[in-house]
Amino acid sequence: MYNFDKIDIKIVNLLLEDGRMPASEIARRLGSISERSVRYRIDRMVNEGVVQISAVARPQAFGLTTIADIWMEVESDRILEVAKKMAEFDRVSYVACGIGQSDVSIQIVAKDTAEIYQFVTEVVRKVPGVRKTTTSIVPLILKDVYQWRVPEEIVREISEKERPASSD
C-alpha cells in the first residue's frame, strides 16, 4: 500500500483543480517543497497507480446532454460477462458490478431521451443475461467521480502519524 503524507494529498488536490498545473506552480503554492520533489512525488504516485492524470471530456460539449443511470438484474453466472460487454459501448461512461438489488449499473450519455430509450431497449435489454433494467434520467450531477477528494478523516489520520511522539 502506498504510504501517503500530507504533502502528497495537497499535491493530489491541486492536480484535481488543474491536472496540467506545473510542478513549479504546485511547489510555489505549497511553499515548503521544491519543484523537483513535487515532480518526484507525482511520478511515484502515478507509477504506484495511486493517481492517474488524464483529460476529462465533458459529454455535454459534444452534444450529449442527456444522462441516464441504468441498473440491471442479470443472470448470476453472467454478471461479469454483461458488465464487460457494457464497458465496450461508446455511450457508456461508467460500469460497475454491485451487491444488492442490481447486479450491474451503468451510466450512459445521449443527445436526448429518445436516444436513451433506444439504447436501453435495443442494446442493453438484448445483451444475453440481462433479465431486467431500471432507468433513471439524471438531470443534475453535483459531484462527479473525478472530483473526489481525499476525506478529511484520512488527512487527520496521516497528520497524527506524522507528529513526533511526545516524550514523557
DSSP code for 30? H
User: Distance between CA atoms of 150 and 134, rounded to whole angstroms?
Assistant: 31
User: Distance between CA atoms of 84 and 79, rounded to whole angstroms?
Assistant: 9
Are 42 and 87 within 8 A, CB to CB? no
Between helix 23-30 and helix 6-17 the angle, nearest 10°, is 120
What is the pLDDT confidence band of residue 34, given thresholds at 50, 70 and 90? very high
Considering only the top CATH level, what class is 59-138?
alpha beta
Nearest to 23 by CA among 1, 48, 53, 2: 53
The residue extents of the domains of the chain are 1-56, 59-138
Tens of pLDDT, residues 95-115: 999 998 999 999 999 999 999
Q: Where are the beta strands (DSSP E) in the chain?
A: 66-74, 92-97, 104-110, 130-138
What is the pLDDT confidence band of residue 66, given thresholds at 50, 70 and 90? very high
Domain 1-56, classified CATH 1.10.10.10, yes or no? yes
Say if residue 4's pLDDT is above 70. Answer: yes
Say if residue 166's pLDDT is above 60. Answer: no
Q: What is the mean pLDDT of the chain?
A: 92
Query: What would the mean pLDDT of 139-151 be, rounded to a whole number?
Result: 86
Higher pLDDT, 68 or 145: 68
| Equal fold, 1-56 vs 59-138 | no
Tens of pLDDT, residues 67-93: 999 999 999 999 999 999 999 999 999
What is the pLDDT confidence band of residue 153, given thresholds at 50, 70 and 90? confident
What is the pLDDT confidence band of residue 165, given thresholds at 50, 70 and 90? low
